[in-house]
A and B are shown apart, each in its own frame.
Chain A
Amino acid sequence: MTQTLLTLFLGLVVILGTASIVGRILGRRAQSPESSATIDNLNARIRSWWLMVAVFAVAFAFGKGVTLVLFALTSFYCLREFISLTPTRPADHAALAVAFYVFLPLQYVLIGIDWQSLFSIAIPVYAFLLLPVLAVLKHETGEFLMRTAKVQWALMLTVYCISHAPALLLLRIPGFEGGGFLLLFFLVAIVQASDVLQYIFGKLFGRHKIAPVVSPNKTWEGFVGGGATATLLGAALYWITPFSPLQAAGMALAIVLAGFCGGLVLSAVKRSLGAKDWGRMIEGHGGALDRMDSVTYAAPLFFHLTNYYFVP
């Protein structure tokens, strides 16, 4: 597995290296201020990619513990961004404290100690029931349902859903022992490739907007072109997975579709809160949740599909 991962990361370095060089050439050639702004944004994205790949490489090199810490921190920043934009009240403070300091770490500890059954229900059952109790103790009923829903949504999307990515390490697939990191790599690679390819196809051929109100940058041309290419990439990566080429393509397609839905839904949530980006953490990318929006939908779906069909 180590050999395979090394090959994969070398491949990423080659791809990003090419992207950096192309970005630099484009930057020199840019003439209008508009195109030069687009190229600047592109180059900022490429720089952030280098950083993200480096972080991933370090996490994978050090194994499960560091990978879990990395994803726990990702959840932490996403939850912080979500709650920062969501106007909560002082009466919600206890519920928020328990979400941040109990359920977030607990979710990742459960993966660490291989307790899959509790991992699956800790947030949807226990947090779901407990958090409103903490809020109701403050005797403030104004907008109670709405306030509760906000905290629940935040915790489900940013902690429960995202934690399904590293939870791939829990799955025991016969003939594929210890291959959890490769599954995780597959998921993240397809989600991100799909985002990037849809962005590129959209910039090059985009004409017909899919959802102009929610997400003005999404076009049918970008979605179909980028999604199809990402699906093909999934098929091409079948050798790192327990899937056949056809199955790998199917999984990649599921990831692409789920990721697309995640992007749309999170974008609608963001707009309903009156913001354009979730935060300003990553240069060119907005906040952490702007990067993870597709993962929130793709990770649980990929986890469960793999669990249903490949874990006896």
Chain B
Amino acid sequence: MIDHLLIGLTRFLVGGRPEWIGTKPSIRQRIYFANHGSHLDTVLLWAALPKPLRATTHPVAAADYWGKDRIRRAISIGLLNSVLVDRAGSAAGSDPLAPLEAELQRGHSLVIFPEGTRGAERLPGPFKSGLYRLATRFPDAELVPVYLGNLSRAFPRGAYLPVPISCHVRFGAPMQLEEAEGKEAFLERARGAIVALAEAQA
């Protein structure tokens, strides 16, 4: 009920119907990786997945924002099924990727934003190494690039309200870590997959 409400509101404000360009929805274990421009990214990508997939797909969200108060926790954990990540974790000695790996361990899928922070540009910035590590440890998971268009315009950093601007959610062809592929080369290839989707015409 509440999920329908949230999806309805999202569609009304920013549209964002899914465009499956390089793949179709599947129950296979997947790691969706997307460019990050806005807090709306998590909601829109979640809304773009078919309902049966939402139960086993966990968007990775920053604990310092989505875990801040009860309402945000209720939305992020209760509704969106998020895994909260402590972005300052590695400095404090704990492993920030551990909760992600736990979800993959039990066969579930993830949505991650490899830039690690929200950018205001149309194209993603350089990727952090988390995606590479997950790809190494879980070679069977399909890595699906997702381009989120216009979200940083609809709900930029520091804004209180999203404004109605049509957004895109484009799913590209799944990729995998190639044998003997180095970290830098892989991360650049993954970023390139999202850039290619940004240029794609649906």
Chain A residue with the shortest CB-CB distance to B122: A87
B163 touches A96 (CB 8 A): yes
Q: What is the bound-complex CA distance between A1 and B67, given in angstroms?
A: 58
Give residues 150-200 of B contacting A (CB, 8 Å): 150, 152-153, 156-159, 161, 163-166
Report which of A76, A79, A90 forms a contact with B152, defined as CB distance below 8 A. A90
- Chain A residue, CB-CB nearest to B161: A97
> In the bound complex, how far is the Cα of B163 from the Cα of A81, in angstroms?
12
Q: Look across to chain A and name the residue whose beta carbon is closest to the beta carbon of B202.
A: A280
Question: Interface centre among A81, A90, A279, by most B CB within 10 Å?
Answer: A90
B152→A83 contact, CB < 8 A: no
The tally of residues in B whose CB lies under 8 Å from a CB in A reads 13
B-chain residues with CB within 8 Å of residue A84 when the two chains form the complex: 150, 165-166
Q: Which of B13-63 contact A (CB under 8 A)?
A: none
- Determine whether B77 belongs to the interface, using a CB cutoff of 8 Å to chain A: no
Counting chain A residues whose Cβ lies within 8 A of the other chain, the interface size class is 10 to 19
The answer to whether the Cβ of A238 comes within 8 Å of any Cβ in the partner chain is no
* CB of A100 closer than 8 Å to a CB of B: yes
A80 within 8 Å of B (CB atoms): yes
| B120 within 8 Å of A (CB atoms) | yes
Q: Which residues of A contact B158 (CB under 8 A)?
A: 90
- Are A88 and B153 touching (Cβ within 8 A)? yes
How far apart sit A90 and B158, CA to CA, in the bound complex (Å)?
9
Q: Which of A76, A93, A279 contacts B156 (CB 8 A)?
A: A93
The listed residue with most B CB atoms (<10 A of its CB), out of A81, A90, A93, is A93
CA of A93 to CA of B152, assembled, Å: 10
> Please, which residues of chain B bring their CB within 8 A of the CB of A93?
156, 159, 163
Q: Is the CB of B165 within 8 A of A90?
A: no
Mask, A265-298, CB within 8 Å of B = 1, is 0000000000000010000000000000000000
Query: CA A211 – CA B3 in complex, angstroms?
Result: 49
For A87, list chain B residues within 8 Å (CB). Answer: 153
Provided the pairs A90-B120, A93-B159 are in contact, do residues A100 and B152 lie with their beta carbons within 8 angstroms? no
Q: In residues 43-65 of chain A, which contact B (Cβ within 8 Å)?
A: none
With a CB–CB cut-off of 8 A, which chain A residues contact B163? 83, 93, 96-97, 100
7 A-B pairs closest in CB distance:
A90-B156, A84-B166, A80-B164, A96-B163, A84-B165, A93-B159, A97-B163
Can you give 9 contacting A-B residue pairs, CB < 8 Å?
A80-B164, A84-B150, A84-B166, A87-B153, A90-B120, A90-B159, A93-B156, A97-B161, A100-B164
Q: Identify the B interface with A (CB < 8 A).
A: 120, 150, 152-153, 156-159, 161, 163-166
A residues engaging B (CB < 8 A)?
76, 79-81, 83-84, 87-90, 93-94, 96-97, 100-101, 279
